């Protein structure tokens, strides 16, 4: 197919896709669908007719239509950002708890050392107490 015929097919395919009346593709507003609609290989658009590819995307943006694939990616990005924010907050809380636990461990260690030292100074053997006499004995 000569270049002029390719360009003519691509422009016709562009018009059909933008009008929502695809003949050979799924109707998505993507380069893959444009190539399928024009009956050319994708690399023909991305390497040989880049001006038509750019024109197609400009027309898609001008229509204000967001391709389904982009809409899905934007939604996924939105969810991912929300999850990241949750994890960042959770991480902050865990760091604060770790610092609190570290302080508690330090205080308990100091108290344990103090009790051990105090007990060591005042240590005396255990003395058995006498049992009380049983009544009636």
- Structural domain contains residue 18: yes
- Structural domain contains residue 30: yes
What pLDDT is recorded for position 20?
84
- Structural domain contains residue 126: no
Domain count for the chain? 1
DSSP the chain: --HHHHHHHHHHHHHHHHHT--SSS---SSHHHHHHHHTS-HHIIIII-HHHHHHHHHHHHHHTPPPHHHHHHHHHHHHHHHHHHHHHHHHHHHHHHHHHHHHHHHHHHHHHHHHHHHHHHT-----PPPPPPPTT-
Alpha-carbon span 41 to 17, nearest angstrom:
17
- Structural domain contains residue 36: yes
Taking the whole predicted model, whether its pTM rises above 0.75 is answered as no
- Structural domain contains residue 19: yes
Residue 29 CA neighbour count, 13 Å, CB half: 21
pLDDT in tens, the chain (137 residues): 688 899 999 999 999 988 888 899 888 888 999 999 999 999 988 899 999 999 998 988 888 766 666 778 889 999 999 999 999 999 999 999 999 999 999 999 999 888 887 766 665 666 667 776 777 66
| CB neighbour class for 45 (10 Å; exposed up to 12, middle 13-18, buried from 19) | buried
What pLDDT is recorded for position 34?
93
- Structural domain contains residue 54: yes
- Structural domain contains residue 91: no
What pLDDT is recorded for position 35?
94
- Structural domain contains residue 100: no
What pLDDT is recorded for position 127?
66
**Full domain range(s) for residue 14:** 3-63
């Amino acid at each position: 197919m000569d270049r002029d015929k390719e360009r003519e097919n691509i422009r016709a395919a562009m018009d059909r896709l933008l009008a929502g009346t695809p003949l050979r593709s799924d109707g998505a507003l993507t380069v893959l669908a444009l190539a399928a609609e024009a009956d050319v290989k994708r690399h023909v658009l991305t390497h040989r007719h880049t001006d038509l590819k750019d024109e197609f995307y400009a027309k898609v943006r001008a229509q204000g239509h967001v391709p389904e694939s982009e809409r899905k990616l934007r939604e996924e990005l939105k969810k991912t950002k929300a999850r990241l924010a949750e994890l960042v907050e959770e991480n902050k809380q865990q760091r604060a708890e770790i610092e609190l636990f570290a302080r508690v461990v330090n205080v308990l260690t100091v108290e344990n050392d103090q009790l051990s030292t105090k007990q060591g100074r005042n240590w005396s053997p255990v003395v058995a107490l006498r049992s009380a006499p049983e009544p009636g004995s």
